[in-house]
Amino acid sequence: MADGRKTGGRTKGTPNKVTADVRAMAGQYGPEILERLAWLALNGESHAVQVAAGKEILDRAYGKAKQVTEIEGGPTPVYQVVIN
């Protein structure tokens, strides 16, 4: 394979059947789980539960927040962006 082309396996862009099946099964619970998360965010028994449920809802609605870390040790700080 001197020219760098892939041989064998699924054609690029073809979904994994197992992943597609699991997503389809999980998707049927989506609305009910989202309602439960919303209830927990508003009525959870502790602030930790409310924050965790709210974070899950916001992550799905807007995507996970980027995390920026300052790395010290050099003449100029280096910032590393981590996307979860």
pLDDT of residue 74: 63
pLDDT tens string 26-71: 889 999 999 999 999 999 999 999 999 999 999 989 988 787 776 6
From residue 75, alpha-carbon distances to 25, 71, 72, 80 in Å are 52, 11, 8, 16
Collect all residues with Cβ–Cβ distance below 8 Å to 78 and sequence separation of at least 6: 70, 71
- With 70 as the cut, is the pLDDT of residue 6 above it? no
pLDDT of residue 46: 97
